[in-house]
Structure 1
Amino acid sequence: MPTVTWFEIPAADTGRAKEFYQSLFGWNVRPFPVEFKEDFWMVETDDGVGGDLFRREFRGQQMMIYIDVPSIEACLRRVVDLGGRVLTGKTEVPGMGYLAVCEDTEQNRFGLWERVEGSDE
């Protein structure tokens, strides 16, 4: 069954946001192991769902969840069939998997994640 596998938290002040989430939930927030972008942090939770925290990239940018699915292509077809929209089609994350971004019927954005066979991500 598809489940939430990753989340993204944009922040105007990443230091303040790190302190907030560490204090509120006890999450471990540390520098991301790969240099994707400046001011980019990995968030680790106790239940294995991970995420990232980074400097907000555009006004109004909100949190995003990613749902692990066996086939992004099949899920994108279902999104459209059910009245949603595909905002970003299947995009490779080298060595890790693929992602896509969609919008539901209520204009809520969510991501899809398809891991590469043999990847821990």
Structure 2
Amino acid sequence: MPTIVHIDIPTDDLERSKKFYSELFGWKFEHPPGMPNYYLIETKDLNGEEGVRGGMGLRGTPDQRMTSYIGVSSVEEYARKVEMSGGKVLNKMPVPGWGYLAICLDTENNIFGLWEENENAK
């Protein structure tokens, strides 16, 4: 069953946001190579087990908000399902070496993402 696999947090100040989330929730941040303004986030649930993964980067537009990504077997297949269910696909793109994503709107104008893991994405 598709579930939330990633949250993306836009920020105006990476260091301030890292400090806030690490002090508040104990989240760990890793700076991946080749992504100068982006950090991967590691979370744990209340039992200390691995939680939802995430990322944090500089805000792209003034209205950009936190987005949850649902892991799916195929972004193409689920993008069609979004549209057949009355939603909209705003953008689809590869994340080279990581996978494919699509940014979507549900029927209530809430933004969410689809994520397909694929190391061969180009």
Please list the CA deviations of residues 6-62 of structure 1 after superposition, one character each: whole Å capped at 9, or x if unmatched.
11111112111111111111100232x2223x3321211122421111121211110
Shift of the alpha carbon at 1:68? 0.5
* Counterpart check, 1:59 vs 2:99: no
* Counterpart check, 1:35 vs 2:37: no
- Decide whether the 8 Å contact of 2:96 with 2:119 is kept in 1: no
Which of 93, 100, 110 in structure 2 is aligned with 1:98? Answer: 100
Shift of the alpha carbon at 1:110? 0.8
- Decide whether the 8 Å contact of 2:97 with 2:119 is kept in 1: no
Which stretches in structure 1 are left out of the alignment for 5+ residues? Answer: none
SS of the residue corresponding to residue 77 of structure 1 reads helix
Partner of residue 23, structure 1:
23
SS of the residue corresponding to residue 23 of structure 1 reads helix
The amino acid that maps onto 1:34 is P
Root-mean-square deviation over aligned CA pairs: 1.7
Distance 1:56 1:72 in 2: 24
Identity %: 45
Partner of residue 11, structure 1:
11
Partner of residue 110, structure 2:
108
Distance 1:20 1:28 in 2: 11
Q: How many residues align?
A: 115
Distance 1:79 1:116 in 2: 21
TM-score (ref. length: structure 2) = 0.85
SS of the residue corresponding to residue 53 of structure 1 reads strand
Shift of the alpha carbon at 1:95? 2.3
